[in-house]
Amino acid sequence: MKLLTLPIIAALLSSSVFAEEKVNKDEVKLPLPSRTEFAEQTKRDLGKYGAVNAIQELPVSRLYFVEAESGSYIISSDGRFAIEGAIKDVWHRKTLKTVDDVRDTLRMPLSEMKFDFQKDLASLVLGNPDIPRQGVIFGDPTAKHTQEFVAKINANKEKYHFVFVMMPLIGGEDAVKRSMSILCAPDRELAIEDLANNTSKSFLDTNEGCPDQNLMFTVYMQEIFKITNLPHVVREDGLVSKGAPVELDKWLGSL
């Protein structure tokens, strides 16, 4: 690829209009690792390739994979940086040679993940368990858009089936307490109504003696799923909505 063509490609990419799904969301304030922490973690991760001598952050906000006649490249959105050579997706243990290779790594079906959302995470089932599961919802029980999304599903429970995973990242200690109260409630149907309506009719007087429901392990999912907004919805085939899809049936339609 001639380097003169890179600014042209960058201009085309930056001016492209990407259609985005309309969503309702609450933003999650996630702590970002410091440069030192990132550098140390990267050295550990890349140690198998030999000693890492130095690490320097590049002034890049967005990268694109470009498939050309002469090979494949990674270029920055401003066309300043062009990276060529073997491009590896470490998570999927795959060398990326074509755009199709990249697209194949963008989604991971929930069935291929190595844990059971319902058993391993702090969760409850929404909707109709007699139909195939349609996806997983990560939400904060104190967040407005999470509550509204659960209410929408609960109002049409016969046609939906989701696993809802507690992700108390917005409401602080109150969100943790409310998560535990909902998960420990003996009446699950009433607990789901409480989740949707911000009420407490199903709550016990005390949660003492109730298992921890794997709540702390669940919070680690924010890094795995790159959760920046709640609710964070993952369709069964791996398609992600960073917020509650306004047109849920349409979003599920191609499943």
Chain-wide mean pLDDT for the chain? Answer: 82
158 Cβ neighbours under 8 A, 6+ residues apart: 127, 128
Note whether 127 and 189 are within 8 A (CB).
no
Structure tokens at 50: 């030999």
Class for the domain spanning 5-15+33-106: alpha beta
**What is the DSSP annotation of 124-192?**
EEEE-TTS---EEEEE-TT-HHHHHHHHHHHHTGGG-EEEEEE---SSHHHHHHHHHHHHH-S-HHHHH
Q: What is the pLDDT of residues 44-59, one digit of tens each?
A: 666 666 777 777 888 8
Q: Which CATH superfamily is domain 112-253 in?
A: Glutaredoxin (3.40.30.10)
User: What band does 212 get if pLDDT is binned at 50, 70 and 90?
Assistant: low
Residue 29 has pLDDT above 80, yes or no: no
Residue 37 has pLDDT above 70, yes or no: no
- pTM, entire model: 0.71
Which element (helix H / strand E) includes 24? strand 23-24
User: What band does 246 get if pLDDT is binned at 50, 70 and 90?
Assistant: very high
Phi and psi dihedrals of 220, rounded to 5? -65, -15
203 Cβ neighbours under 8 A, 6+ residues apart: 181, 182, 185, 194
- Peptide bond preceding 231: is omega within 30 degrees of 0, i.e. cis? yes
Domain boundaries, the chain: 5-15+33-106, 112-253
Tell me what pLDDT residue 57 has: 81
> From residue 76, how far is each of 67, 83, 90, 113 by CA, in Å?
14, 9, 20, 31
Note whether 74 and 64 are within 8 A (CB).
yes
Tell me what pLDDT residue 128 has: 97
